[in-house]
Structure formats: C-alpha cells, structure tokens
Amino acid sequence: MDEVLENPYYDITIPNADRVLPHLFIGNYAAGEDEKFLTDNRVTYILNLTPDKHRKRLEGITYLNLVLHDSAHEDISRVFDQAHDYLTTVRLEGAVALVHCHMGISRATTMTMSHILLSGKIYDDIDEHRESGKMYASRGFADDKASSAGEQVSFAEVWRLVRTRRKCALPNPGFVQYLGLLEMKLTGQSTPSVKPSDLPYEAYVELPLEI
C-alpha cells in the first residue's frame, strides 16, 4: 500500500502524462488543466473521458467530453468509433491530443488502445514528429518486434506498446474484454493469452510485457 501511495501516478492533484503516440498523450485530469504542459507539448485537442467537464478551458484547444465511468460494467465500446474519429482527425492534421480520465490508468488507456486497433497500425518516431508535425508509420515496436506499416496489429502488441510508454496503464477487466471483442471483430481472433475472465484483476498487472 505504501508503494501505491508513493507512486506519482496516483496523485491526481499533480499533472502527469506520457506521450504514447506522436499525436497522443495519455494523462490524468490535472494534465488537462495544466496550461504549461499543454502549451509546452503543443496540445490542441483534449479528449476527456470523465463525467466532469473542465472548469478551465484554454483558448485554441478543442474539447470532446465522452462521459464514462471506470467500471467493469461500463460499455466503453459504445464510444470507440467516436473517439477514434476524433483522434484520427488529430493525427491527419499533424496535431497533438491529450486523452485523459481521472488518473490516466484505465479509461484513457483503453480508449487509446482501441484507437490503435481501429487504425490498424502503430505510429512511432516521436522525436521526428515533434520537430516536423508529420506522422510516420512505424516499422517496429519498443521491443524491436517487426511489423509492416499498415498491418493490422494485435491486442497483445498494442497492450505491450501502451504499457511500455505509460507504465501505469491498466484497463479494468471489463474494458479488456471489450478490447478483446474489438480485436475479434477486426481480425477474427482474440489474443489467446489475454483473457480477463480467466484471470483475477491482480494477475495480469504485469502481463503486458510478457506477451
């Protein structure tokens, strides 16, 4: 418990966010109201996945609020397409978005994973993107596992990428099931080793890096 309390990701009063894709940060609610963070990282789109609308809205930023609760019973898939369309617009414009919930652990990471699955490919080369504002299709992952640009990625690959870049990423078991169903719809199969119905919540906390 002491380790959890000392983890900066769990302090919702301090802005924190991680760049997961060239056009996308995952962060907490505080990051969505931190003008310095948003300005320094040229964030011009915010996708808020909490029931709480931002009290402080900054000029030049486009906001979308999709109300979701971090519950295993919440059908998060009902807004997969809407969020994907929004984030695709960001990518095509060469812009940058912050996707956040309260802590940037469950809802925001789930929505990011669904966006990558629906895109069919993973975007990388963050430093070059930061300099030019352009998108580059990745030909590899953080662990050098090869993947051709445009190839449909698996849930396991997406999970590994997001967990590598956002260490606290952990969708609740219900959300994992919806991601598995999305993968099934897109590929006709679901990553066999990720079956939340067969695992207690704590059992797959460290699973992503082992897939």
Encode pLDDT of 71-87 as tens digits.
Answer: 988 999 999 999 999 99
Proportion of the chain above pLDDT 70, given as a percent: 70
Mean pLDDT taken over the chain = 77
CA 38 to chain centre: 17
Which of 76, 98, 101, 103 is catalytic? The answer is: 101
Q: Which H or E element spans position 73?
A: none
Is residue 93's pLDDT more than 90?
Answer: yes
Is residue 198's pLDDT more than 60?
Answer: no
At 9 the pLDDT is 66
By DSSP bridging, strand 97-100 and strand 24-27 are parallel
* 3 state DSSP class of 144: coil
Range of the domain at 11: 2-210
Active site residue 101: yes
- Number of domains forming the structure of the chain: 1
Q: What is the CATH number of the domain that holds 95?
A: 3.90.190.10
pTM assigned to the model: 0.77
